[in-house]
Amino acid sequence: MGREIVMTECSGKLCGYAFSRDAETPTEDEIRYSVPGDGGCDSGDGSCWQAYFAQARDSRFHPKELQDATAQIKKILDPLVEGPDGRTLSFVHTPFGTLLAWIKHGQRFAGPVVTSASTPEEIAAALGLINVGYDKPASASPEQSSV
């Protein structure tokens, strides 16, 4: 049967991501989620959606090859039922593309956050995005800095 979408207080167009920006040195828990800060979703601008693919009948806009691709993607995503700490598999939409992430829907942050309204550089840094033109350069070793 597969995974079913769970409607939360923030769903679809009403959900927007927020990542804390207070973690210069990631904690072990933050490293586990592969982002420098913690991430969640609350009511917002539609920048975060639960990762669920709808299926449709054959049509000009959804022909057999797209039906097959959808079925293959669902086969990969459906076993990923629940993430750590009750997080939901979600699509986080950024200016650089869509990121698949474990998100705590309905989570609010008290401190400064990065959202879809932040600068591209802030978004790339907060989400730990790579190959998007805003990668943090690796620290030069003492040998490299003296060259």
Return the domain boundaries, the chain.
Answer: 12-145
CA nearest neighbour of 45 among 98, 116, 112, 127: 116
pLDDT band with cut points at 50, 70 and 90 for residue 69: very high
> For residue 41, which phi and psi values (nearest 5 degrees)?
-135, 145
7-21, 51-65, 76-90, 127-141: which has the highest mean pLDDT? Answer: 51-65
Q: What is the dihedral of CA 46, 83, 1, 97, to 10 degrees?
A: 40
Strands 97-105 and 88-94: antiparallel
Per the model's pLDDT, the better-predicted residue between 111 and 60 turns out to be 60
